[in-house]
Every structure is written in structure tokens, then in C-alpha cells.
Structure 1
């Protein structure tokens, strides 16, 4: 798998400020972290190279990305308002509910249409995340998608 040198995440940690949830949600978080670590391109602007550990926390309803190197050297901390994501995440959860409901009873064409909408909203969230990180952290679109999935799972309360 192409990793783009050392510009990648080797670890993602959810701080205690995130809080713990049900076993199902904890599983979804673990899967999202696994997928993100498995394949990503993550390059803090102005830093020579990693790989990097990303510690995610919530402080005053803001998402905090604390980035360090393998030897725990501090690289940067970026704070993102969650406000630009609230509508997208809400829409994403609503369409996911429709999708799971449709799987049980809808026609294949209806399921496909809902799934296209779900992917479209996920792409919008991924692009918003890339835009918010511009000039701070360079990531590719696939990494943005995986990171946005993790942000969604942080919102998910079950």
C-alpha cells in the first residue's frame, strides 16, 4: 500500500474527554480508527515527516487534534469548531437511518438512490474537513473520508 513516505498516521487515540459509550459504538469507533490507520496520508504543514500519532479530544465543544511523532515529540495542536459539521452529521445520520430501513423493505433501485445520497453527504463532510484543515494538515480525500467517519462516530450516541 502506498503511504507517501512517513507522512501518515500510525496511531489514533481518543482522549478521555470523548467519553465511552455502548459496546456497539465503541466497536464502530475502533473500526473507524483501524480503517484510518490502515491507509492514510497525513502531513502537518511545515513538518519534516512522521509517522504521526493523532490524539483527538473535545474541549468546549471543539475538536482538538494533538499531533506528535512516534517518539512523542509534539508537532502541532489544531482546534476545529464542530459547528460546520453539525448539519452535515445530522443529515448523514438521518439518511443512514433511511438506508438501514430501506434495506429491510425497499426496492433495489430505492436502496441505491438512498445510498448515493448517503455517499454524497459523506463526501460533503469529507470536503468540509479538508477545507477546515487547509494550511494546517495536508490530507488526501480518502483520508478525509476516513477521518470524517471517525468524527461522525464521535457524535453517534446510539
Structure 2
């Protein structure tokens, strides 16, 4: 039996959300945030791109906030050494986030009132919209941060939480 630990080089070990930037949350939204952070920290691939000598290996900590319509991704090493900040315009994601919210509202309403087949139909549409948002996020970050799809999905959930009402 091997006692080798998996390489912690390119992964997130902590994610902090700026509480002042977050939209007010109901219980469903707060639950989504907590689950996304938990799932993200359990398994992720996160590699800042650029001068590899300057960046080095992780693990990394990600501070997320919102400022002037931009998502701020402050990346640091586990010891808090700054790696860099990325200011990402939210304009390309606004429509998909809005549509995703509408589907989430329908989904939560359906859970309380609808037949199982209706819930499943809405959930499939919600997951499809979530995947589309994740793909857009991956594309927007491709030259800055290498992510796997599951990491992009969880980050998309967290980004949405800044705009959920």
C-alpha cells in the first residue's frame, strides 16, 4: 500500500467569497454556494498560466469578489503569496446567468409543487444551461487559468452566486 499523497501542485485548497459582493441569499442559494465550495475543494484542477517560474506550483487559494461589473479572481499560493489578480468582465455571461436563474427558480418551484416528470425536465434544462455557462467561463479563462470542466462548473455556480437575488 502506497502512502504517497496526490500531487497538490495545481489545485485549489481554499476558496473565499467576498461577503460584501454577494447578492443576498435565501436558503436555496446559500446551500448552492456551500455545496459548490465543498465540491470544488474536494476535487479540482486549477493552474494559473503565465511565467511558470514566477507562478510556480500551488496549491492555490482563490478569493472571489465583484467590483464595477467585473468578477475579481485574486489568486494566491497557500501561504498567501500573491500570484495575480484577474478582472473578468461579466458582460458575456450576463444573459446565460439570467436565463440560468429563471430555470433555477422554476426548478425550486417545481420541487415543491410539480410532478416528478416536470421536475426532471426542468432539471435537465437547468443542467444544460449550467454546462453552457461553464463552457463560456472555460473559454474566457483559457489563456489565464487552466481548468477541467468540473472545476469550471463549480466556479460558474460560485460566480452566479454574486448575482442571484
Q: Which moved more, 1:37-46 or 1:101-110?
A: 101-110
Q: Which moved more, 1:67-76 or 1:120-129?
A: 67-76
Matching residue of 1:33: 37
Confirm or deny that 1:7 pairs with 2:15: no
Confirm or deny that 1:62 pairs with 2:70: yes
- 1: distance between equivalents of 2:105 and 2:30? 19
* Contact residue 3 and residue 39 of structure 1 kept, 8 A: no
- 2: distance between equivalents of 1:27 and 1:143? 18
Matching residue of 2:162: 154
* Contact residue 12 and residue 62 of structure 2 kept, 8 A: yes
Query: Structure 1, unaligned stretches of length 5 or more?
Result: none
Structure 2 counterpart SS, 1:154: coil
Residues 116 and 42 of structure 1: CA distance in aligned 2, closer, same or farther (over 3 Å): same
User: CA-atom RMSD, angstroms?
Assistant: 2.1
Residues 3 and 64 of structure 1: CA distance in aligned 2, closer, same or farther (over 3 Å): farther
Scaled by the length of structure 1, the TM-score of the pair is 0.87
Structure 1 counterpart SS, 2:58: coil
Query: Structure 2, unaligned stretches of length 5 or more?
Result: none
